Amino acid sequence: MPRFAAIFAVALAAVFLAAGQPTVAESFETTDTNGVTLQAFPVATFDEPWAMTFLPDGTMLVTTKPGKLFHVTRDGEKTEVAGIWDVAYGGQGGLGDVVLHPDFSQNNLVYISNVETQDGGDTFRAVVRRVRFDRFGATPTLADAEQIWTQTPNVPGQGHFSHRIAFGPDGMLFITSGERQKLTPAQDFTTALGKIIRLYADGRVPDDNPWQIRGELAKTFWTMGHRNMLGIDFDRMGRLWVHEMGPRHGDELNLIVRGENYGWPVVSNGDHYSGVPIPDHHTRTEFNTPKAFWVPAISPAGLVIYDGEMFPDWRGDGFIGGLSSQALIRIDISGENAREAGRFEWGKSIREIEQDPNGALWVLEDDSDARLLRLTPKD
C-alpha cells in the first residue's frame, strides 16, 4: 500500500475508534448443507454478548454477560444504557435476557434477567426485572426497575440459570428456570429449578397454571423436568418451543405443553459426563419426548421461529444458535414434527439469534470480541 494511503487508513480507523462508531468490516458469505448461501454483514462487536431484542423502529437492545446493556442502531452505533444494576458475573452467570413487553410501543417496558449472589457470595440465583426504557433523553436510561421473579432456592454454583424470557400471544410471561446443575430438583415440586415458569406480565401468579395443590411455589410452574434452557419462542400458531442442553449429548427441542414433565434427570437421549448411561426417552412414556434431539451435541443457545418476508421458504422454521457446534442451525417444523434441515458454519460459536422487523436474521457470536452479524439472502 502506498505510504499516504496507509496513513489515511490508520487515520480513518483512529477516527472511528475514537468516536466509538462502527468500524469498517468486510461482509462474507456462508453456505449451508443444502447449498443455500447467505451474505453476512458484521455490524458491531461486543464483549461476551448474551441476548438481543429488536425495538419496533429496527434498533436493538443487546446485553453483555459482564453486565452492560447497549442500544444499537442498524449501522452498529452502540450507546450504553444507563441505570443497569449490579449483576453476579462469573461461570454461566451475569446479565441475561432482554425482551419487550407486548405493548412496548405504549408503555416502554422491557424485561431483563440476570444472576445475583446471596449469602455473602456463597449462593446464586436468577431474577427478572420489569423496567421502563427511556430512549428519548440525551442518554438512554432504565428507570422504575421492579423485580418480578426470583429463582427459588438460591444454591451454590454458577451454572444452568437458563433465565430466558418470552411473552405468549395472550400476553402471559414465560421464564426458563434451569436446574442449576443439581439434577433431581427438576422433578421436585418444592423448588423452581428445572421448570418453565408462567406469570402475568406484572409478576402475579395466574390461578390457571397446572399444579394448584403442590404448594405455593408449584403454582408458578407451567412444565417441569427440564435441564438448561437457553432458547424459547412462540410460533405463529401460538405454540411454545423451548430447547435445552443435554448432559453428554442429547440436546433437545421440545414442544411445550401445559402440565407436562420433560423427564430430566430420569431420562435423556444423552449420558452423564462420567459416561454413566441415562435411560433414553422412549423407555418412559410418562415423560414428554423431544421433537428433535442431537447426538452429538450442538449446545443450543438462542431460538427464533422465523416469521418474516425476506426468506419466504423459511416461514415457520426454527433457527438455533450453536455454541460447541459453531453453527446456525435451521429446523424444519411441520405439524408437531421438527428436524434439523440445514446448518450454516463460519467457525464461530453463536449465542443468540433474532429476526428484525424487515425479516433479516441477526446473530450474536459468543465470547469476547464477538460480532453482531446481519444475514440476508445473497444478492
- The burial class, CB within 10 Å (0-12 / 13-18 / 19+), for 86 is exposed
370 sits in which H/E element = strand 370-377
In whole angstroms, the minimum distance from the beta carbon of 262 to Ca ion comes to: 4
To the query of whether residue 160 is one of the catalytic residues in this protein, the response is yes
For Ca ion, the closer CB: 179 or 340 = 179
In whole angstroms, the minimum distance from the beta carbon of 115 to Ca ion comes to: 17
**Count of alpha carbons within 13 Å of 193, Cβ hemisphere only?**
22
The C-alpha atoms of residue 130 and residue 107 are separated, in whole angstroms, by 11
For Ca ion, the closer CB: 46 or 262 = 262
Binding site for Ca ion (CB under 5 A): 51, 53, 262-263
For Ca ion, the closer CB: 55 or 127 = 55
Cell of 74: 442498524
In whole angstroms, the minimum distance from the beta carbon of 364 to Ca ion comes to: 9
In whole angstroms, the minimum distance from the beta carbon of 166 to Ca ion comes to: 9
For Ca ion, the closer CB: 117 or 338 = 338
CA dihedral over 93, 223, 355, 331, signed as positive or negative: positive
Task: With CA atoms as reference, report the closest residue to 268 among 250, 284, 295.
Answer: 250
In whole angstroms, the minimum distance from the beta carbon of 2 to Ca ion comes to: 45
Cell of 70: 447497549
Q: Is residue 246 within 8 Å of residue 160, measured between CB atoms?
A: no
For Ca ion, the closer CB: 63 or 108 = 63
CA distances 317 to 16, 26, 264, 329, Å, are 38, 28, 26, 10
Catalytic residue among 71, 101, 160, 163: 160
Looking at the chain, the number of H-run helices and the number of E-run strands are 2, 25
Catalytic residues: 160
